[in-house]
Structures are given as structure tokens and as C-alpha cells.
Chain A
């Protein structure tokens, strides 16, 4: 790719409510070509990056993300991801990626049972990725969360894989970067706020970087994530174009 413009696609499910935020940020803050992808469509319109936005797809019926996972557009997203395409799931999008089996684990009900909507801090655990290369390792980002089911759970074996392969990108932390029980807003195992798949092309996070991207509304640390993606795709870094998954 030789210009600095990518095409982003933001998937719209019935019940998505952060789709316009993501669209606005990509199109108007980062000047990227951006389109909406309707859940009933079966074309990804040649986008470079798919965003699964936050919200309550299908009313969170049955389990968060469980029904969205079977929508027509998700068939395409799954196959796109399996061919090395870049997919970012934010909040409900993270839940959908877990349900779709593109990321391991699951997001359980918050430990304290309440919906949490607050600005908090994340520590960048791995900055050698497509999604975080413009952050410093250990950098503390200020990015808000807003969820009732963000309590990341995976079994011990999966967790140690995530740790060993440096696939945990963000952990909840205090302002000074220390990871403490008090800084964990939902009971997530290992204080996990965001992870990527083993091929580094699919990322899910509960916090909302698109809500921390417009200087008009507050902190802009979320910009670093989108800027990393744009820069790396343009420079063809961290990109794996091979068919990387076994077709199932």
C-alpha cells in the first residue's frame, strides 16, 4: 500500500451503539475511508480493517455476542480473519470475537454484578504488535470502559499461553501503572483488558479507544491504537497475508 489511507469497515448489528463513534473517529479524526457493514450483508466491501463496535448486539440475548456470531456478515468476518485480515473488537465486539472462536476465553458478568462506566488506566503490556507499536512498553493509557460483562475468563492453560506468547496487550492498572486488585474494574483474570490472537491480526479489548480519540471530548490516548494500525498497515508491518488458519 503506498498511500496513507486505509478502508475501515464498521459492522452494524441491531443493538450496536458505538458504531457511529468508531465511524466518526476513523473518518473525521483520522481521515480514513470508512463504511458501515450491515449485519445482513455478506460483502466486506474490500476493507483493510474490520471493526466490531461496542453495544448490545441482538439485545445481549442468550449471551453477549452469541447471536451476532451467527449473522451473515460474521461469516465473512471470520473468513477474513482466518485469511490474515485485521479485525478489532471493542467491548461487545470483543465478546463477539470470543463467541466466534477468533479469540480464546469469554467475558463473564462483572464480578460485582454492576455495569461499570468510567475512565480508567490501562498498561500496555506488549508494544511490538500491529495494534500497539506507537505506544511505549509499560505506557499507561487513559481510556474509558462501559460494560456489564467484561470479566475476562479463560482456563489456566489458555491464560499461560496468552502470557507466554505476549498476547495480552492491555491490563487494567492504577494511574502509576501498578496492577492491583483495586484497579481491576470487573474481576478479569490476570487483569486482562485486551488480547490478540496468536497470529497478531485479531484484537479484542473491553475499553473504548474510540471514546478517547477526539480532543473535543477529553483524553486522546485511544488514538495511539488506531494510529498504530494505520501506520503498520500502510508500512506493511506485522501483516501476514498467508492463509493462516486451517479452514474449518
Chain B
């Protein structure tokens, strides 16, 4: 069965203040990187899975994101899927 790798990014929703991002932004400014406009911190999750098709893999990852990997009250998610072995 084909194996897929999904790379998932979970970030705080735009409407939610990200104090961690803000703190890092300050630190970057202290480093002299004054061109930095905004910093948002998120999570990166990599999932390896078996699926008959990319469509099926996508459905599984979507479910994982919605039910566990992100909390829709505060987070958004996005992901890519790559077939690594037929």
C-alpha cells in the first residue's frame, strides 16, 4: 500500500493574540532585525500513514487535525501530503 507523509502546521487563529510570538518579535528586534513585522508561533507535526490513495490519506489527516491535532476554538491548520512509496 502506498505510504504518505503529511506535514501539518497548526497556528493560533489570526484573531487570537499570540504572546509567545510577540515575545519572540521583541527578541528579534533586540537582535537588530528591525524589518520583522510580525511573528506567529505554531506547531509542526509530521504524520506517516498508509492509504490506498492521496484522497484517502487527505481524509485521514483532515480528521486527525479536526479531532485532535488542532482546537478549532483557537487554532487553524494546514497540511501537505506527499507520496513517498508506491
Instruction: Please determine whether B74 and A112 come into contact, CB atoms closer than 8 angstroms.
Output: no
Q: Is the interface of A mostly helix, strand, loop or mixed?
A: loop
Please report which residues of chain B, range 1-55, place their CB below 8 angstroms from some CB of chain A when the two chains form the complex.
16-17, 19-20, 23, 43
Instruction: Please determine whether A106 and B74 come into contact, CB atoms closer than 8 angstroms.
Output: yes
Question: In the complex, what distance in Å separates the CA atom of A110 from the CA atom of B20?
Answer: 10
**Contact bitstring A100-125, B, C-beta under 8 A = 1, else 0:** 00001110111111000000000000
What is the chain A residue whose CB lies nearest that of B72?
Answer: A106
Q: Within 8 Å of chain B (Cβ to Cβ): is A66? A: yes
What is the chain B residue whose CB lies nearest that of A151?
Answer: B19
Collect the chain A residues with CB atoms within 8 Å of residue B23's CB.
113
Collect the chain B residues with CB atoms within 8 Å of residue A112's CB.
19
What's the minimum C-beta distance from A74 to chain B, rounded to whole angstroms? 13
Question: In the complex, what distance in Å separates the CA atom of A70 from the CA atom of B68?
Answer: 9
What is the chain A residue whose CB lies nearest that of B12?
Answer: A108
What is the chain A residue whose CB lies nearest that of B75?
Answer: A63
Q: Which of B20, B68, B71, B73 contacts A109 (CB 8 A)?
A: B20
Given known pairs A109-B19, A111-B17, A112-B19, the reply for A153 and B68 (CB within 8 Å) is no
What is the chain B residue whose CB lies nearest that of A108?
Answer: B74
Q: Within 8 Å of chain B (Cβ to Cβ): is A99? A: yes
What's the minimum C-beta distance from A156 to chain B, rounded to whole angstroms? 10
Q: Which of B16, B20, B43, B69 contacts A153 (CB 8 A)?
A: B16
Collect the chain B residues with CB atoms within 8 Å of residue A105's CB.
73
Instruction: Please determine whether A154 and B73 come into contact, CB atoms closer than 8 angstroms.
Output: yes
Instruction: Please determine whether B74 and A66 come into contact, CB atoms closer than 8 angstroms.
Output: no
Q: Within 8 Å of chain B (Cβ to Cβ): is A182? A: no
Question: In the complex, what distance in Å separates the CA atom of A127 from the CA atom of B51?
Answer: 54
**Contact bitstring A60-83, B, C-beta under 8 A = 1, else 0:** 001100110010000000000000
Instruction: Please determine whether B68 and A108 come into contact, CB atoms closer than 8 angstroms.
Output: no
Collect the chain B residues with CB atoms within 8 Å of residue A109's CB.
19-20
Instruction: Please determine whether B20 and A108 come into contact, CB atoms closer than 8 angstroms.
Output: no
Collect the chain B residues with CB atoms within 8 Å of residue A113's CB.
19-20, 23
Collect the chain B residues with CB atoms within 8 Å of residue A108's CB.
16, 74
Instruction: Please determine whether A66 and B68 come into contact, CB atoms closer than 8 angstroms.
Output: yes
What is the chain B residue whose CB lies nearest that of A104?
Answer: B73
Q: Which residues of A contact B (CB under 8 A)?
A: 62-63, 66-67, 70, 98-99, 104-106, 108-113, 153-155, 187
- 9 residue pairs A–B, Cβ–Cβ below 8 Å: A62-B68, A62-B69, A66-B71, A98-B73, A106-B74, A108-B16, A109-B20, A111-B19, A154-B73
